[in-house]
Copies of this chain bind each other. A is one copy, B any other.
Amino acid sequence: MTGAAGFLGGRLARTLLDRGELDGRSVDELVLLDVVAASAGEGDPRVRTVVGDVADPALLGETVDARTGVVFHLAAVVSGQAEAEFDLGMRINLDGSRLLLDACRAAGSVPRVVFTSSVAVYGGDLPDVVTDATPLTPQTSYGTQKACAELLLADHTRRGHVDGRVLRLPTVTVRPGKPNAAASGFASGIVREPLAGVTTVVPVPPEVRMWVLSPRYAVESLVAGAELAPGRLGGSRAINLPGVSVSVGEMAAALERVAGPEVAARVSWRRDPAVEAIAATWPGAWDTSRAEALGLRGDADFDAIVRAYMEDDLPHNL
């Protein structure tokens, strides 16, 4: 697993160790690669922690070998950073993905490769409903790098170097920790800050719609994505995960229902034209029937997402 010290990587690593098996095979070794030392499964004899750069071909050559059965490729710099630091984004998001595929090819074990892509591969003039077959028209460098990596994964799959699966994640929320610079950061802040007793400012009007998924279902989907039989995928390896489409106003209402009016009163609204402009490019509606037919699941609604956060990340509060 690359990016194993991150938000989703840490949770996925713990899930894999707890399950002890993946697609009917036991998890004998879990290699956690990240520039930061991954802490999941510390002391577990099955875990090998590798600290290093996913864009370092020598390191990848040592890390991926003939025993590698499944690769979860999560390492990335996220959208705001890839936009601000173009070369860095290209190196990690594009070169890293490409070099990892080359390492898999060299290893010869034809591993399943689960790649976390993003709905940022879409943009511009979109159809009313986005499906798995909607053209990739990224409007950011991050989205461009993810789209290129998707294409490379498809080609390596076609050539028989890997057995690739691309999961396009909605905005994963609630992300614990500090607010970050992502334009979509308020999708976590609107729940996280009020529950921490802190006020939060939402930079878009309540009508703005988002496409969200809890970390629980993001991790469940990564596991399910790895377990999908290749024959079920057909001509396309890329799947939009079943998120919840919810307006920001409904998010605040869900918070009030789940956590009470006192908590919800900590949400305030002040429009930020820069964020609003980005939000205006987000697709409106999604058709994820292919994902559902493949057995992939998402949250019932935003209330469930708020509850999942409280259970998983704020157990002392309950």
Contact = CB atoms under 8 A, between A and B. Distances in A.
Nearest to A153: B144
A180 interface: no
Nearest to A125: B235
A293 interface: no
A183 interface: no
A86 B148 CA distance: 16
Question: What's the interface size class on A, roughly?
Answer: 20 to 34
A138 interface: yes
Contacts of A141: 155, 159
A124 interface: yes
B125 A138 contact: no
A136 interface: yes
Contact of A136 (B135, B139, B152, B159): B135
Interface of A: 86, 90, 98, 124-125, 133-141, 144, 147-148, 151-152, 154-155, 158-159, 235-236
15 contacts: A86-B159, A90-B98, A124-B236, A134-B135, A135-B135, A137-B236, A138-B151, A138-B155, A139-B158, A140-B155, A141-B159, A144-B151, A144-B152, A144-B155, A148-B152
